[in-house]
Chains A and B, each alone.
Chain A
Amino acid sequence: MSRSDPDAPKKLAIIASKGTLDWAYPPFILASAAAAMGWEVQIFFTFYGLILLKPKLDAAVSPLGNPAMPMKMPFGPEGFQNIDWPIPVFLMGFPGFQALSTSLMKKTFANKGVATVEDLREMCVDLDVKLIGCQMTMDVFGFTKEDFIEECEIGGAATFLEFASDADVQLFI
């Protein structure tokens, strides 16, 4: 594919299809980094990724279904923090375990100096990243545009494809 204008900014097209806390990071991290480098960026939020457009983010995460997820404590001495706790699968289904895993991941990320998903999203908005909600999934899940942050736009497959066809990098996350 050749871009007609060599001076035109590069383009990044991302599909964000996951709404769990862990997978909320990559689209916003890559989008903000690309936008910081002067790229033109669009993120198309579809299926479970749609909830990343809600004003108040309540993305959660659990090691259930993520068997490779390290379970580490975000407090205590360094040696203690580095222990990867072997959690039996049957315990992961206990009430409150998902909330616990979510708060542990948030705390760990904050301790390490990673911005929150809310902050990353705000930076994307500041850097003119275009956030597009998938109309079809909104209809299926019963969302309206009013359920999402006002900076987002609404579009469908053709909207994304038109931008992606001319993008230098296209990612499905």
Chain B
Amino acid sequence: MSGIPFDEVLDNSGLLCPMPVVKTTRAIKKIQVGQVLKMIATDPGAPPDMAAWARQTGNEIIAQEEKDGKFIFYIKRVK
């Protein structure tokens, strides 16, 4: 899965709720529609929160993986 192309990286390791969601929002606004943000988080609440965030904002998590205690999201800006 690590072969997924992305345009920007945001590392939220070590940060708890609501920081991953808030920082992802800021980062996604800085990329163009259609581009992909790779977001890394260690907060175990991040997977359900990012899923909710994607549903609420209309952006798309195109892939997601868990590696060495890190959650990695590939988020495509749709709106």
- Partner-B contacts on A (CB < 8 A): 10, 29-30, 32-33, 36-39, 112-115, 120, 123, 127
Contacts and interface: CB of A to CB of B under 8 A. Distances in A.
A29 B43 contact: no
B53 A36 contact: yes
Given A113-B43, A123-B22, A127-B22, A33 B57 contact: no
Contacts of A30: 18
Interface stretch (B9-17, B30-38, B63-71): B9-17
Contact of A36 (B15, B16, B25, B43): B25
B15 A29 contact: no
B18 A32 contact: yes
Given A10-B56, A113-B43, A36 B24 contact: yes
Given A32-B22, A36-B21, A112 B56 contact: no
B16 A37 contact: no
A33 B21 contact: yes
Contacts of A36: 18, 21-22, 24-25, 53
Contacts of B52: 37
A22 to B, nearest CB: 15
B15 A113 contact: yes
A113 B56 contact: no
The interface size bin for chain B is 10 to 19
Nearest to A29: B18
A39 B56 CA distance: 9
Interface in B28-79: 43, 49, 52-53, 56-57
B18 A33 contact: yes
A113 B22 contact: no
B43 A33 contact: no
Contacts of B22: 32-33, 36, 123, 127
Given A113-B14, A113-B43, A37 B53 contact: yes
A113 B24 CA distance: 16
Contact of A37 (B14, B19, B21): B21
A4 to B, nearest CB: 20
B57 A29 contact: no
